[in-house]
Amino acid sequence: MNIVVQKYGGSSVATPEKIKCIASTVIKRKEAGDSMVVVVSAMGKSTDQLIALAKSISEKPSKRELDALISTGEMVSSSLLSMAIQEMGHDAVSLNAYQIAIKTDGTYGKSIIQSIDDSVIKKHLEEGRIVVVAGFQGISESYDLTTLGRGGSDTTAVAIAARVGGVCEIYTDVEGIYSLDPRLYSEAKKLEEISYEEMVELSVLGAKVMHSRSVELAQKYNIPIYVGMSCSDTKGTYIREVKNMENKPITGIAVSDADVAVTLENIDFDINLLADIFESIANKKINIDIISQTAPLHGKVNLSFTIPAEELDECINTVSKFASKEDIIVDEDITKFSVVGIGMKTTSGVASKIFKIFKENSVQVKMITTSEIKITCAIKREDKSKAVEIIAREFNL
Amino acid sequence: MNIVVQKYGGSSVATPEKIKCIASTVIKRKEAGDSMVVVVSAMGKSTDQLIALAKSISEKPSKRELDALISTGEMVSSSLLSMAIQEMGHDAVSLNAYQIAIKTDGTYGKSIIQSIDDSVIKKHLEEGRIVVVAGFQGISESYDLTTLGRGGSDTTAVAIAARVGGVCEIYTDVEGIYSLDPRLYSEAKKLEEISYEEMVELSVLGAKVMHSRSVELAQKYNIPIYVGMSCSDTKGTYIREVKNMENKPITGIAVSDADVAVTLENIDFDINLLADIFESIANKKINIDIISQTAPLHGKVNLSFTIPAEELDECINTVSKFASKEDIIVDEDITKFSVVGIGMKTTSGVASKIFKIFKENSVQVKMITTSEIKITCAIKREDKSKAVEIIAREFNL
C-alpha cells in the first residue's frame, strides 16, 4: 500500500468551492493508485473567529476551554471534505483526535504528539476509503482536547506519515518555500529544495509556511515533505536531506515582529540565579530566543532575552521574583532578522559581511545570537525593509 | 450533594450576552448550595447554519458526517459557557460526549443513549466545579459522534439527572408548557403541571418545547422536570406524576405540518405483507404515526400512513418493492391535529364531540388514530387555524 498523507491549510478549505476542488484533487490521486490520508486545518479564518467569540466572553479565556473550542474548527472542515468526496462517488471517512487516539503531552495551546493509533486509519485505507483527519488537535491523558499550536496540522500530517509509513505533502496558498517572504521582497526566489535544518530555523524564526515542530519530526523519521500550492500544477519545494549542498552560504531570510525584548538590570552575577531565571521561564513553556548578558560590573550584570509578545505578561510575572519592577525593562520596538543557511557551516565570514552591510546602511543591531547555520539580530522595526533588501540583494536570494 | 441538572436551549445561549446571563444564573444557584450540571444546546441557529454548509457541499450528506459536523455546535457553546462562568470567578469545566462516555445505540441523527459514565461529572462536582455538558451528542460503539435528534439536549439533561440522582430543569425561550402553541391561539393558557404521558404525546405530536424521548426517560426514572424561561422569574410548568387529575378531558392540542400521508393502493389483503411493509419501514428508522386501512375488496386493500416529510424519499424507496409506482399515492396537504389529555381515560364522548364540532365547521377529517389519552386527525392544511380555534374554545384551553 503506497500511502500519501496530504495536508491542506485553512485557506485551501476556506469555502465549499475550495473544499470541492480539494476533493477532486484527492480523488485523482486515489484513482492513480495511492492510498490517501488527508489532514485538514479549519476553514479560512474560522479559528480566529472562534477566538474572537471567546474573547467577547473572557479577556483571557482558560487554555483548556479555548482548546476545546477551537478544536471544533478542524472537525467541521474534516466532515465537510468527507462529504465532498462522498458526493463525488468515493468512500471517505472523517476522523477526529479521539477516534485515532492522537495522544499528547497535555499542554494546552502547544501540545506535543506522543502517540497515534494508526489501526483505525489502516483499516479504513484497506477497505478503500479516503481518510480525512482533523488536524491541529490531540487528546490529553485526561481526555481533554489539546491543540498543537498555530500551524499544528502540519505536525499532525507528518506524525501520521511517520506512523503509517507514507510520504507527506503539504498544500497551502503559496507555491512553495521562498528564500524570504515575497511580500517583503518581491524578487524573492522559490527554492527547489531546502534541508530540514534550514527549514526548522526559518520556521522557528517566523517563516509562516511550515510548523517548525513538523519539520523536526520529519527530520527525525526522515520523511521528505513536499510543499506546494493546492489545486495548482506549479512545482513546489521539497524539504529533505540535502546532499548536493549549494555554494550559497545563505538559503533564506526570516523576519518577525512577534517578539519583544526583556532586560533584567543589575541582577547578581551568579550562574545559579541565571539557571533559576531560565528554568522558571521554561516551566511556563515560554520560548526564549536571543539571550545576551553584559560583562559583570561590581558583581552585577544586565540580562536581556527575547520572547513572543503574547507571553510578555506571564513572563514579567515569572521574573518579577528575580528583579524589582523598575529593573525590568521591556523593549517592544524590535524586529528579529535572521539569515539561515547550511552553507554557513563551511563558509566563514558571513557574520562579518552582514554586520559590515548593516553598518554601511545604518541598521542598528540591538542583540545578536548565532548557531551553526543561522545568525539572528534584533533590529529596530523601522529598519526592517531596508535590512531585508540589502541582505537579499547582497546574497542573491 | 444536592445535584441540579439544568438545560439551556439554543435561543438561551444565542449570543455572548445571553451566555453571560446564563452563567450568572447558574452561579447564583451554585452559591445557594446546589451542585450544578448545565447541559447546553448549540448557539442560536448554528446547527441550521452547519446543516446549510453541509448542503452546499452535498444535497444528501452522509448521516455519519452530518452528525460529526453538527456535534461541534454544542462543543462550542459548552466551552463558551465555561469561560463565562470562569470569568465571573467560579470554577467550571466543559465536557463532551467522549469525556463522559455518553454511549448510544449508534443510530446517526436519532440515537438512543445507552449509558453515561458519571464518575468524571461527580469528581468535578465534588471538587466544587460547575460542570457544563455538550448536549445533543453521544458516541457509538466505534467512537463515532452520533446525535440524539432535534431537541436531544433535553434527553442529555434528563439522562444525566437520572444517572447522578439530580433534579432536572429545562430552560427555554417560552415561559412553560401551554395547552397549545400561543402562536396558533393567542389565548392559550400556560399549565402549572402536566403528566409525563400527556407531555410525551404532545411532544411526539409536534409541540416543540420538549424532546419526547426526554420525557419518556424522565417518566421511567420518575425525574420531575421543570420547564421555564431562561433569565426570568416567571413560574413555569412541572412535568411530573399528576395526582390530582383535573376534570378537564383535554390538556393540550398539538398540530404539525411536518408529515405527509402515503397510501399504497390495491395491495393484497395479507397480514404477512402488512408486517413486512411496516418492518422494512421500521428498519429504516422511519417513524410512522397514523395508520389506516380500508376494508378488503376482492382480496385487495388500500393502506395509508403518515411519516415525517423529510423521510418521504427513503420511505418510497423502501415501499416500492411492495407496490408499483402508480399505486403509491402521496398526500402532502395534511396537518396532524391532536388533542391530548389523561382526562380522556375517564371521560367518554370526547371523540364524538370533536367530530361533531369539525362537522359543524366543515373541517374534513382525512385520517384518524386514537390512544387512551389522545385523538389525532389528519386534516387539510387550510383548516388548521379554524380547527385549533374551535376546539380550544370548546374545551377552554
Which tens digits make up the pLDDT trace of B59-74?
A: 999 999 999 999 999 9
- How far is Cα A199 from Cα A203, in angstroms, rounded to an integer? 6
Q: Please, which residues have CB within 8 angstroms of residue A340's CB and are 6 or more apart in sequence?
A: A198, A201, A202, A205, A250, A251, A252, A253, A254, A373, A374
Residue with cell 552582514: A354
A46 touches chain B (CB under 8 A): no
Res. B245 pLDDT band, cuts 50 70 90: low
Residue A75's SS3 state is: helix
B63 touches chain A (CB under 8 A): no
| Of residues A6, A3, A24, A23, the one with CA closest to residue A226 | A6
Question: From the candidates A20, A72, A87, which should be mutated to test the interface with B, based on the most B CB atoms within 10 A?
Answer: A72
Q: Average model confidence (pLDDT) for chain A? A: 92
Q: In the prediction, which pLDDT does B244 show?
A: 63
User: How many beta-carbon contacts under 8 Å exist across A and B?
Assistant: 107
CA distance A86 to chain B (A): 8
**pLDDT tens, residue by residue, A232-279:** 889 999 999 987 655 678 889 999 898 999 999 999 988 889 899 999
Res. B130 pLDDT band, cuts 50 70 90: very high
Domain segments of chain B as ranges: 3-173
Q: Please, which residues have CB within 8 angstroms of residue A69's CB and are 6 or more apart in sequence?
A: A50, A53, A54, A61, B75, B76, B79, B80, B83
Asked if pLDDT for residue B384 goes beyond 80, the answer is yes
- How far is Cα B281 from Cα A171, in angstroms, rounded to an integer? 45
Res. A289 pLDDT band, cuts 50 70 90: confident
Query: Are residues B143 and A72, on separate chains, in Cβ contact within 8 Å?
Result: no
CATH 3.40.50.1370 fits A3-243, yes or no: no
Asked if pLDDT for residue B26 goes beyond 80, the answer is yes
Single-letter amino acid code for the residue at B150: R
A54 touches chain B (CB under 8 A): yes
- How far is Cα B387 from Cα A31, in angstroms, rounded to an integer? 59
The shortest CB-CB distance from A57 to any of B65, B84, B96 is to B84
A16 touches chain B (CB under 8 A): yes
Res. B210 pLDDT band, cuts 50 70 90: confident
Q: In the prediction, which pLDDT does A244 show?
A: 63
Q: In the prediction, which pLDDT does A246 show?
A: 58
Q: Are strands A3-8 and A167-172 parallel, antiparallel or unpaired?
A: parallel
Contact, A366 vs A331, CB < 8 A?
A: yes
Query: Are residues A68 and B143, on separate chains, in Cβ contact within 8 Å?
Result: no
Nearest CA in chain A to B84: A57
Average pLDDT over residues B107-130: 96
Planar angle of CA B161, B162, B165, nearest 5 degrees: 75
The top-level CATH class assigned to B3-173 is alpha beta
Question: What is the separation, in whole angstroms, between the first and last Cα of chain B?
Answer: 40
The three three-digit cell numbers of residue A74, written as one number = 478542524
How many Cα atoms are found within 13 Å in the side-chain-facing hemisphere of B7? 32
Biggest distance spanned by C-alpha atoms of chain A: 77
Q: Give B228-266 as a DSSP string.
A: EETT--S--EEES---S--S-S--EEEEE--EEEEEEEE
Q: Average model confidence (pLDDT) for chain B? A: 92
- How far is Cα A140 from Cα A123, in angstroms, rounded to an integer? 24
Nearest CA in chain B to A79: B65
The pTM score is 0.82
Backbone angles phi, psi at B317, to 5 degrees: -55, -45
Question: How many angstroms from the chain centroid is the CA of residue B103?
Answer: 20
Residue A274's SS3 state is: helix
CB atoms closer than 10 angstroms to residue B128: 10
**pLDDT tens, residue by residue, A128-169:** 999 999 999 999 999 999 999 988 999 999 999 999 999 999
Segment among A82-91, B108-117, B222-231, B237-246 with least mean pLDDT: B237-246
The shortest CB-CB distance from B72 to any of A54, A76, A82 is to A76
CA distance A181 to chain B (A): 34
Question: From the candidates A43, A57, A77, which should be mutated to test the interface with B, based on the most B CB atoms within 10 A?
Answer: A57
The three three-digit cell numbers of residue A366, written as one number = 540591538
Q: Give B307-342 as a DSSP string.
A: EEGGGHHHHHHHHTTTS-GGGEEEE---EEEEEE-G
Average pLDDT over residues A377-397: 92
- How far is Cα B181 from Cα B145, in angstroms, rounded to an integer? 33
| Of residues A176, A232, A220, the one with CA closest to residue A202 | A176
Which residue ranges of A are tagged as binding site?
7-10, 47, 74, 172-173, 178, 183, 208-209
Q: In the prediction, which pLDDT does A2 show?
A: 95
CB atoms closer than 10 angstroms to residue A55: 14
Interface of B with A in 92-121 (CB under 8 A): 93-94, 96, 98-99
Q: In the prediction, which pLDDT does A271 show?
A: 86
- How far is Cα A192 from Cα A301, in angstroms, rounded to an integer? 46
The shortest CB-CB distance from A83 to any of B65, B83, B93 is to B65
The three three-digit cell numbers of residue A325, written as one number = 519592577
- How far is Cα B265 from Cα B272, in angstroms, rounded to an integer? 17
**pLDDT tens, residue by residue, A41-63:** 999 999 999 999 999 999 999 99
How many Cα atoms are found within 13 Å in the side-chain-facing hemisphere of A309? 12
CA distance A63 to chain B (A): 10
The three three-digit cell numbers of residue A348, written as one number = 566563514
CB atoms closer than 10 angstroms to residue A294: 13
Query: Are residues A57 and B80, on separate chains, in Cβ contact within 8 Å?
Result: yes
Contact, A132 vs A38, CB < 8 A?
A: yes
Asked if pLDDT for residue B145 goes beyond 90, the answer is yes
Four-residue CA torsion sign, A347, A353, A358, A361: negative
Q: Are strands A365-371 and A335-340 parallel, antiparallel or unpaired?
A: unpaired
| Of residues A366, A369, A371, the one with CA closest to residue A383 | A366
CATH code for the domain defined by A245-397: 3.30.2130.10
The shortest CB-CB distance from A80 to any of B53, B76, B143 is to B53
CB atoms closer than 10 angstroms to residue A76: 26
- Burial-class residue A316 by CB neighbours within 10 Å (0-12, 13-18, 19+): middle
Asked if pLDDT for residue A346 goes beyond 80, the answer is no
Query: Are residues A86 and B58, on separate chains, in Cβ contact within 8 Å?
Result: yes
- How far is Cα B51 from Cα B56, in angstroms, rounded to an integer? 9
Biggest distance spanned by C-alpha atoms of chain B: 77
- How far is Cα B209 from Cα B9, in angstroms, rounded to an integer? 10
Segment among A155-164, B246-255, B377-386 with least mean pLDDT: B246-255
- How far is Cα B154 from Cα A74, in angstroms, rounded to an integer? 27
Res. B396 pLDDT band, cuts 50 70 90: confident
Contact, A224 vs A239, CB < 8 A?
A: yes
Q: In the prediction, which pLDDT does A351 show?
A: 86
- How far is Cα A34 from Cα A168, in angstroms, rounded to an integer? 12
Please determine, for the modelled complex, whether the ipTM score is greater than 0.90: no
Question: What is the separation, in whole angstroms, between the first and last Cα of chain A?
Answer: 40
Single-letter amino acid code for the residue at B316: I
Residue A176's SS3 state is: coil
